[in-house]
Chain A
C-alpha cells in the first residue's frame, strides 16, 4: 500500500496538472527576476537620467522647485547667444569656431595620417616594422600627464602656445599610436585575395589601396573620424593648460569660466551654456552610437 502511494506520488510529479503548476511557478519567478533587473537598471541609471534631464529642463525654465521640478518656461538663459555674460568674456561664436577648428583639425590629421600608416603596418613588410609595433606599446606607458609639462615646453619653443593648432597637433600626436593600432585592425580584416586580384589586374599598390582596400575599411574610417571629432570637440585639460588668451578659448574654457563666475548665482546660464556645448556631441551620439561602440574600447578614461 505504502509502496503504491509513493509510486503514485512520483507519477503525479509528471502529471499534466502538476507540470502546468510548475511551469506557472517558473514563469512568475522569471517575471519577478525581469522586474527586479529593470528596477536595478532604472535606479542605477537615475543619476544619469536626472543629470542630463536637468541640463535640458533647467536651461529652459525660470527655476526648479526642490531642485527637480521646472517652473515657468523661458529662453532667457540663452541670452549668452547674443550678448556677453559679462564684459570679460570673448565672443561666443568665435569661441565656438575655435572649438570646431580643434575638432576638425584633429579629425583631419587622424584620418589623413593614421590611415596610410596603418595600411603600411598591416600590409607591408619592411625593416623596423616589429620595432615600430613595440614602440607603440612603450609609448603607451607614458600617459598624458607625464608629457603635459614637456609638451608645454615644446609648444612654447614652436611658438604654438595659445593656439588651437598647437592643441590639435599635440592631441593628435598622443592619439596617433592608438589610432594606428585600431585602423590596423580594420585593414587586417580585409582579405588578401581582394587586394591581390587588383594587383594581378595591373593596378599599382597605391591604386589598389585607393580603389579596392579603402572602400572596405570605410566603417573603420568613419568610426575613427567621429571618435576624433568628439574627442577634439570635448577637450578640456590641454585647452585649459595651453590656452590662456581669450581669443583662442574653446567652449571648455568658456564653460569653465562660467562655473567660476556664476555657479551659485545663475544655474540657468550655467546649464544653458553646458547644453549648448554638449549639443553636437549628443546629436552625433544618437545617430552614430553603433560606430562609436566599436572604438570606445580604446579610450583611456578611468
Chain B
C-alpha cells in the first residue's frame, strides 16, 4: 500500500524533476565548472584553474562596473522600488477609501502594465520618449517652447536607466504595500483621527510602523532582483556610452554574447556571474540579519496577500 503511494508521488514529480534537472541543476553545475576554463565559442573544456578570477582583479573596467552597479541598484531601489512604490500605494489606497475601488484599480493597473509589456516594446516607448531629435516626446515638448533638442541617453545615461527600470520596479512595492495598507484595521486610523492626527501624521505614526515588514521585505527582495536585471539596460542604452551604464550582470552578458564572435568569452563571463551569485548571497545574509527576518517568520505580524 505504502509502496504504491510513493510510486505515484514519483510519477507525478518526475516530469518536473527532469526539466528542472536538465535546465536548472545541470546548468548550475556547468556554470561552476566553466568558470575554471577559458572556454570560447568553440566550447572546448580547457581548464585554467582560477585564472578567470585572477583576471577579474586586474580588469580595470570591472571597478567601474562595480560602482555602476551600486549606483543603479540602490538608486533605483530607494527612488522607485521602495519610495515611489510606497507613494503609489498610499495614494491609491487613499482613493480606494474615498472615491471607490474602481478609480484606484485603474491607476494600479496602469502601473502594472509596463511589467507585462514585452521588454522590447517597453524599450521602443522609451526610445521614443528620449529620442535625441525633435521626433521624441521630451524634445518635441522642448521644441514647442523653443528649446534645442537634447540627446538624453548620452547626456544622462545613469538617470535614464534608473528611471526606466524604476517605472517597472515601482509596481512590485505598490502591490505589496497596497494590500498591507488596506488590511490595517480601520480602528487604528479612527483612533488617531479622534486624537487630532492629520493625514500625514496618520501615515507617519500608524501606517508606516504597521507596514514595517513589507517595507523591509521589498527592500531586500528587490535588491536581489535589481542586481541581476539588465534586460532593459541592454535594450535602451546597451551599457553605453562607454561602459557608463554597464552593470555587473550586463558586463557578464556582453562578455559572453555581446558584439560578434570577438566576445564569446564564456569562461570569464561565467566566473563573473558566479561572483554575482556570491554578492547576492552576502546581500541576503546582511538583510536577514539587519532586518531580523527570523522574527517575521516566527510570528505573522500583519496579513499580507
Chain A residues packing against B (C-beta within 8 Å): 33-34, 37-38, 40-41, 44-45, 47-52, 54-55, 58, 64, 66-68, 109, 112-114, 116-117, 119-121, 124, 126, 139, 141-154, 156, 169-170, 172-174, 176-177, 180, 205-206, 230, 233-237, 241, 251-252, 255-256, 259, 263-264, 267, 270-271, 274, 277-278, 281, 284-285, 289, 292-293, 296-297, 299-302
Contacts and interface: CB of A to CB of B under 8 A. Distances in A.
Interface stretch (B53-61, B183-191, B252-260, B287-295): B252-260
B169 interface: yes
A48 B110 contact: yes
A109 B15 CA distance: 9
The binding surface of chain B is classed by DSSP as: helix
Contacts of A33: 94, 199
B252 to A, nearest CB: 6
A281 B117 contact: yes
B110 A49 contact: yes
B245 interface: no
B95 interface: yes
B228 A144 contact: yes
Contact of B19 (A68, A148, A169, A230): A169
B99 interface: yes
B92 A151 contact: no
B294 to A, nearest CB: 15
11 contacts: A51-B128, A54-B137, A119-B12, A146-B276, A151-B27, A153-B43, A153-B266, A234-B116, A237-B231, A300-B225, A302-B81
B274 interface: yes
The binding surface of chain A is classed by DSSP as: helix
Contacts of B213: none
Given A124-B5, A126-B9, A173 B24 contact: yes
B194 interface: no
A114 B136 CA distance: 44
B121 A37 contact: no
Interface in B132-181: 133-141, 143-144, 165, 167-169, 171-172, 175-176
Interface in B239-272: 249, 252-253, 256-257, 266, 269-270
A289 B28 contact: no
Contacts, number: 281
Contacts of A153: 27, 30, 34, 43, 266
Contact of A40 (B91, B141, B305): B91
Given A241-B257, A263-B127, A302-B222, A117 B34 contact: no
B168 A301 contact: yes
Most buried by A among B23, B135, B226: B23
Interface of B: 5-6, 8-9, 12-13, 15-17, 19-20, 22-28, 30-31, 34, 43, 76, 81, 84, 87-88, 91-92, 94-95, 98-99, 107-121, 123-129, 131, 133-141, 143-144, 165, 167-169, 171-172, 175-176, 199, 222, 225-231, 234-235, 249, 252-253, 256-257, 266, 269-270, 273-274, 276-277, 280-281, 284, 305
Given A173-B24, A277-B118, A297-B175, A66 B228 contact: no
B94 to A, nearest CB: 6
Contacts of B12: 116-117, 119-120
Nearest to A37: B91
Given A54-B128, A297-B172, A67 B140 contact: yes
A87 to B, nearest CB: 22
B128 A267 contact: yes
Contacts of B30: 150, 153-154
A174 B19 CA distance: 9
A116 B11 CA distance: 9
A47 B116 CA distance: 16
Contacts of B253: 145, 148
B176 A297 contact: yes
A124 B9 contact: yes
A289 B119 contact: no
B159 to A, nearest CB: 13
